[in-house]
Amino acid sequence: MKIQYKDKIIEIDREVTIQELLENEIEKSKYPVIGAIFNNEYVNLEYKIDKEGEIKLIDISTKEGTKIYRRTIIYILGKAFEKVCPGKKMIVNYQLPNSMFCQIDDVEVTKELIQELNNEMRQIVEKNLPIKQVIMTREQAKEFYKENNTSKGRLQLDLEDNQEIYMYYCEEYYNYCFGTLANRTGVTKIFEIIQYDDGFLVRYPSSSKPEELPSLIPTKKLAWALDEYDDIHKILNVNTVYKLNKSIKEGNIRDVIMLDEALHEKKIANIADEIAKDRNIKMVLIAGPSSSGKTTFAQRLGIQLRINRIKPVTISVDNYFVEREDTPRDENGNYDFECIEAIDIELFNNHLTRLLNGEEVEMPEFDFHVGTKRYNGKKLKLEADEVLVIEGIHCLNDKLTSEIDKEQKYKIYISALTVLNMDRYNRISTTDTRLLRRIVRDNQFRGYNAKHTISTWNMVNDGEEKNIFPFQEQANSIFNTSLIYELGVLKEMVMPLLEEIQQEQPEYAEARRLIDMLKYFEPIPTEYVPTNSLLKEFLGGGSFKY
């Protein structure tokens, strides 16, 4: 059999693992190798090659490597937790910057407990124990769950098409992970556990700096927003995929949808009320990562502001780009339209200041084809009962509105902060939810296929990490646009788009991973979604214009 690795062809005459075949390459890698891609599928290093194909190694300096690292750390945490707190239950609740927030049922999290967990995890990592994947038949799995009285990975049995049930074993510890794990514990040397709120954080490195833990960034506002939604969905009893599916099968999903949408409306109304209370506020700035639902949010907020006798006036930052020849370039020599220096900040602030002073201003309209601002006679004057509403990636960065007094600005950070978990140890990534939204929207309204959206997604994320996430705690309000039921709705539209991607295409690995997650969701008809829902921004057929 011929196996391609980089520009080399390796011939093998027997079944061999990736670890055995590329041991020298793995050992001399600059960063620890934590997984691989074989024929455009994510695999463990213990994957046995029994056919021809191409191998790409994944180290911890890549985004997928970071995901495998994170999953493996959580797996090791689970093993340590069962040793330190036998009989107790832990939940991996949600993600914060380079960390996971975890809680323990009916146990006070003390410094001593944190130290015990840290010590036990260190021992597991230092032993460099093998993590083995075991495959069972459905009958074997049923017997396994009966004997062990556990729910770990049991969601696999709920899917009748699953004829093989997977478990990961490390010594006597077993658990399931919806994604690839490292093949040994020793690859995850960089981590720490710290006390946080009523639980603890498991911290790990980023792909940009894989050799160290990043500085701890205060995220009190973000954590509060996640806590609020998480608590409400626990009350609704739909905080896991199993419970969501149960509500669908029992015919209660319309109630869940109405309550979820009511929560959005209440939060938007609360933000509008807060703005209305402070008559100094003359400018509302909205920022958030791609596919957060910013356009619908801004329009729904506008309605609530009108109820408070405030008229919103929208200004687009996109009309204030610098001239094309003045646009900064990135390290590859391409125009960098996402950096803040691509905005004519001086002109933007001049116009904002004049508008807030009651002057009339002729507004520019940017001609993207030519790369210049044009003045076509569009004039604007701000009345006493009006506020500016501005949406853009830099709106939380004070540099964008540096000439405007802080008291006159109200900043809102919005994102689809997913609080739904597959189970206690496997959460659904906020980034995955936004990616699925974007795949559907790109196909519906922009003519792009899923392959194109996936291929550009890492570049989109890089821009967000640089220009949005560092400023999220500067917001006056954080609005969570996620809907607990949305993946059940998106599934029917996005699965066919993902299945169009062929195995020979590089995007197949991500498509396969998303399909493997979505297959556990019971479908929800799109007609159940209210016409004013934020989800309609991606599905189409909503009440608002986009």
Give per-residue pLDDT as tens, 287-306: 999 999 999 999 999 999 99
- Of all residues in the chain, what percent carry a pLDDT higher than 70? 100
Give residue 463's pLDDT: 87
Mean pLDDT in the chain?
A: 93
Contacts of residue 223, Cβ cutoff 8 Å, sequence gap at least 6: 96, 101, 196, 197
- pLDDT confidence tier of residue 490, bands split at 50, 70 and 90: very high
The CATH number for 199's domain is 3.30.980.10
Asked which of 195, 213, 231 is the last residue of a domain, the reply is: 213
Task: Identify whether residues 259 and 404 lie together within a single domain.
Answer: yes
DSSP codes, 1-20: -EEEETTEEEE-SS-EEHHH
Supply the pLDDT for residue 91.
92
SS3 at position 426? coil
* Whether residue 97 is found in the same domain as residue 187: yes
Q: Does one domain contain both 71 and 50?
A: no
Q: Are residues 71 and 200 in the same domain?
A: yes
Residue 377 contacts residue 362 (beta carbons within 8 Å): yes
Do residues 100 and 238 both lie within one domain?
A: no
Give the C-alpha separation, 344 to 337, whole Å: 12
Quote the CA–CA distance of 104 and 197 in Å, as a whole number. Answer: 12
Domain-terminating residue out of 162, 191, 213:
213
Tokens of 530: 């209210």
In a domain, 324, yes or no: no
Pairwise CA distance, residues 58 & 40, whole Å: 12
If asked whether residues 181 and 264 sit together in one domain, one would say no
Quick check: 283 and 248 in contact, CB under 8 A?
Answer: no
Which candidate, 484, 473, 488, 463, places its Cα nearest to that of 225?
A: 473
| Structural contact between residues 494 and 515, judged by C-beta atoms closer than 8 angstroms | no
Same structural domain for residues 277 and 205? Answer: no
pLDDT above 80 for 242: yes
CA-closest candidate to residue 81, choices 168, 173, 16, 18: 173
- pLDDT higher for 37 or 97? 37
pLDDT of residue 409: 97
What integer pLDDT is reported at residue 221 of this predicted model?
A: 82
Is residue 394 a contact partner of residue 317, using CB atoms and an 8 Å limit? Answer: yes
Does position 546 have pLDDT exceeding 70, yes or no? no
CA angle centred on 18, ends 189 and 425, rounded to 5°: 45
Distance, CA of 73 to CA of 490 (rounded, Å): 30
pLDDT for 457 beyond 90: yes
> Mean of the pLDDT values across residues 139-155?
90
Shared domain check, 304 and 175: no
Mean pLDDT over residues 274-299, rounded?
A: 94
- The answer as to whether 225 is a domain residue is yes
Tell me, what's the pLDDT at 1?
87
- Which pLDDT score is estimated for 531? 95
* Residue 361 included in any domain: no
- The residue-averaged pLDDT of 157-171 equals 91
Centroid of chain to Cα 514? 13
The sign one gets for the Cα dihedral 352, 354, 360, 365 is negative
Angular region, 363: left φ>0, alpha ψ -120 to 50, beta rest: beta
**Looking at the domain assignment, is residue 506 inside a domain?**
yes
Mean pLDDT of 202-217: 90
Q: Does 227 fall in a domain?
A: yes
Q: Provide the pLDDT for residue 544.
A: 80
Q: What is the pLDDT of residue 235?
A: 74
pLDDT at 542 over 90: no
Residues 110 and 149 in one domain: yes
Q: Mean per-residue pLDDT for 156-168?
A: 90
The H or E element spanning position 231 is helix 220-235
pLDDT higher at 355 or 368: 355
Compute the radius of gyration of the chain from its Cα atoms.
25
User: Residue 107 contacts by C-beta under 8 Å, 6 or more apart in sequence?
Assistant: 85, 88, 113
367 domain-assigned:
no
Global confidence as pTM: 0.92
State whether residue 449 is helix, strand or coil: coil
Residue 209 sits in the same domain as residue 225 = no
Residue 114 lies in a domain: yes
Residue ending a domain, choose from 213, 236, 257? 213
Among the ranges given (66-80, 182-196, 327-341, 349-363), the one the predictor scored with the smallest mean pLDDT: 327-341
Q: Is there a single domain that holds both residue 207 and residue 245?
A: no
Query: Which tokens go with 475?
Result: 């917001």
What CATH number does the domain containing 6 carry?
Answer: 3.10.20.30
- Average pLDDT of span 376-399: 94
Structural contact between residues 67 and 428, judged by C-beta atoms closer than 8 angstroms = no
Residues 422-435: tens digit of each pLDDT? 999 998 999 999 99
At 43-62, the pLDDT tens digits run 999 999 989 999 999 999 99
Q: Domain range holding 240?
A: 221-310+385-539
Does some domain include residue 92?
A: yes
Contact 505, 228 (CB under 8 A): no
Q: Which residue from 440, 74, 70, 482 is spatially nearest to 238, judged by alpha carbons?
A: 482
Structural domain count of the chain: 3
Q: How far is it, in rounded angstroms, from Cα 263 to Cα 243?
A: 19
- What whole-number distance in Å separates Cα of residue 91 and Cα of residue 86? 14
**pLDDT-based confidence at 224, cuts 50/70/90?**
confident
Claim to verify: residue 6 and residue 80 sit in the same structural domain: no
Position 231 scores a pLDDT of 74
